[in-house]
Each structure stands twice: as structure tokens, then as C-alpha cells.
Amino acid sequence: MRGPHSRPQCTPAHQAGALLLVAVTSLLTRLLSAPAPPPPFPTPGPRLSAAADHLRVYVYAEDEVDGLRALLRGRDGSVSAATCLKGQWGTQVKIHQLLLRSRYRTLDKDEAHLFFVPSYVKCVRMTGGLTDKEINQTYVKVLGQMPYFRRSGGRDHIFVFPSGAGAHLFRSWATFLNRSIILTPEGDRTDKRGISAFNTWKDIIIPGNVDDSMGKVGRLKLVELAKQYPDKLESPELKLSGPDKLGRVDYFKHLRNAKFCLAPRGESSWTLRFYESFFVECVPVLLSDEVELPFQNVIDYTEISIKWPSSKIGPELFQYLESIPEERIEEMLARGREVRCMWVYAQDTEPCSAMTAIMWELQRKVRRFHQSAETFWLHNRSIVNRDLVEFQQWGTPVPLP
């Protein structure tokens, strides 16, 4: 019989428990002494921290894959990047050019976490460089020659579709890009399409191309409302067509006189007017029920904008806006000044820019595991196809589904 101060026997169970305790203690020590992870994207504030330093993005060169040049320049190579820089699709060019100069770019595919596929197809289509049929055929041809696309099933490949049509410009997107990361200002097309190409779990909403054309107008309800209250509310029309058409500078001067800028949906749910409002310092009033806004992980849009049901456009909207206290308007404008740098496509070395925010969003999409249903792996971690051919030996073109 053991006395109260006798030493317990060290059984195998006790030894295992002691070893486990040592292991856990050692692990906690390493974790506590390890360098802190990159700070999260700040909220709120204009100081946007860059994506984690280890992020690497490979940008395909236009002459690297047969057919890729046509998606950038048209079938005869006559469409210039300068031409495609204009209009709402200009983000395709800006993001491509900024990534080419990005500190996160790598020239080594094997160290890349993500792959960027450049394309100016909306612009190329609008200028007659490719037909819809040719766009579809060319995309399929290009993707079939990308072993890394096949390896991941497209999960780590990035595409930009900046127009209202979004990824629908590539008719077979649902077959080939259903796992890929799509950058688009457009979050909904179910009004004209059976299915939206935007998926909240993998895609990223980006700001529209603020510094170029406005897009289509013709929102008659708002025109009539502005006519009723010409001294209070700016109309989205403002003589934007005809002999008395306002120039771009005059247009922004008119907006600057308003406390609120109405931002109705355009041909689709997104509208450039929303982004323009922040630079002329009026509170945007969103009148687009299905709109998706960029960087919702870090921006509280209730602090900087108002969203109003499009079915209730009329005197009640004006009465509501008129009831908002001046101090609340000033608070919203001040907060808008802080975040508007996120709508500007500048180098990702800038502490606050659309590209810095996009890179942060992309960092969150990085997966450690890149394999798809088309790849297999062996005990030595080599990646093979169904014929047990190692990944480094995969030839092109590689058949796609």
C-alpha cells in the first residue's frame, strides 16, 4: 500500500501522456516564436496591406500559346492594347499590364501559385477582330495547350471578363471555366441568361474602369424625377447626347454640385456611376437590386452608400434623401474619401489601389493542393496522367472535356 507521499509508478500510458505533453508544448513554443502572419486587409482605412510576400503569379505571354495572341489582338493582330484601354473593358488591359510589372509575378511556372491568362476579347469582338464563334474556338484551342490548366482543372487560373456579358463572351465557359477564378465587375446576368457566370466562392468582383466612358444611359424614371426636383437632384442624363451634349469635365462639374448621385443599373446590374460618385464627392444611391460590389470582405457599404429598391423610384426616394441629416451625409462622404483609392488601377506597390486589393483577394484563393480529377500522384509525390506519364512530360495539345 502506497503512502501519501510515495512516488507513482511510470506506466506506458503515463509515458505516452508525457511525450504527448512535451510534443504539444514544443509545438506551442514554435507557434508562439514563429513570425506573425501577414496582417489582414485592414478594415476600415485606406492603408491596404499588400498580399503575402510569398504569393507568385505566372502571366502567360501572348506568343507562348498558339491562339493566345488572337484573344489579345484579333485574328490578324491589328487590335492594339491602346484601343482596348478605353471603355468599360479597359480593366482587361490594365490588370494585364500591371501584373507584368507586379512584384508578385514569377517567370517560373513550377513556383507559381496562380496563373493569369490575358485576353481582351470584349474589345477584340467589338472592333471586329474575332466573331463569337471564333472566340469560343480560340479559347478551347488555347486552354487545350496548357498543361498547368489541365493539372488543376483550371482552379488556379485567372481570367478577366469586364463587360456586362462577363464570361458569357466565351460560350463554353460553363464547361471549361467553371472552376477558374473570374475577375469581373458583373455579379449577375440571370436577367438575360439562364445562369450567372459569377460564383461567390471562387470569383472576385472588381471595380469598373472609372476614368473612361460612362456606358449607356436612358433611365427614364430618373430623368423625370430629376425634372421634378432640378435644384436638388442631378439626373443621369444631363444632356449627354444631342447638340447640347455635356463634355466629360462639365459632366463631373454637374455631379459635384449634388449631394447624392443616383446610380441605376446599366444594361446589366453594375454601373460605373457608383464608382464615379466617390471622385466627385456625392453619396451614391444604388438603384440596382442585384448588384455585387467589390471587396465586400473589407468594406462596409452601408457606411459610404445607400441602396434603394428600384421598384420605388419616385417622390418617396427624394423625400427620403431630403430627410437625411447633413452631418450623416458628411460622415458618408468622409468615409468615401478614405476608400475610393480602391477603385484606382495603380501598381500593387501602392498601399491602397484596386490592384493591391485584388492581389489580397487572390492570396485568399491560393490552394496548397493543385490537383484535379485528371491528375494522379505516386508515393514519391510525382504527378502523372491516366497513362502514368509524369507531369513534366505532358505534351500539347492536351485534350480537354
Give me the pLDDT at residue 260, please. 87
Give me the pLDDT at residue 373, please. 85
Asked if residue 63 belongs to a domain, the reply is yes
Tell if the pTM clears 0.85, that is, is over it. Answer: no
Asked if residue 329 belongs to a domain, the reply is yes
Instruction: State pLDDT tens for residues 5-40.
Output: 443 444 444 444 443 333 433 433 443 344 333 334
Give me the pLDDT at residue 2, please. 39
**189 and 67: one domain?**
yes
**195 and 320: one domain?**
no
Give me the pLDDT at residue 257, please. 53
**90 and 170: one domain?**
yes
Give me the pLDDT at residue 228, please. 55
Give me the pLDDT at residue 400, please. 59
Asked if residue 185 belongs to a domain, the reply is yes
Distance CA 82, CA 210 (A): 16
Asked if residue 350 belongs to a domain, the reply is no
> Residue 180 is part of which domain span?
57-205
Asked if residue 97 belongs to a domain, the reply is yes
Give me the pLDDT at residue 227, please. 55
Give the count of domains, the chain: 2
Pairing mode, if any, of strands 306-307 and 383-384? Answer: unpaired
Neighbours of 62 (CB within 10 A): 17
Asked if residue 68 belongs to a domain, the reply is yes
Q: Which of 185, 205, 225 is the last residue of a domain?
A: 205
**276 and 176: one domain?**
no
Asked if residue 37 belongs to a domain, the reply is no
Cell of 43: 478594415
Q: Which of 315, 344, 373 is the last residue of a domain?
A: 344
Mean pLDDT of the chain: 77
Instruction: State pLDDT tens for residues 244-266.
Output: 444 444 544 554 457 888 888 76
Give me the pLDDT at residue 372, please. 86
Give me the pLDDT at residue 303, please. 96
The stretches in the chain having pLDDT less than 70 are: 1-53, 188-194, 211-257, 266-269, 396-401
**70 and 190: one domain?**
yes
**199 and 264: one domain?**
no
**195 and 64: one domain?**
yes
**199 and 313: one domain?**
no
Give me the pLDDT at residue 206, please. 93
Q: Which of 205, 240, 272 is the last residue of a domain?
A: 205
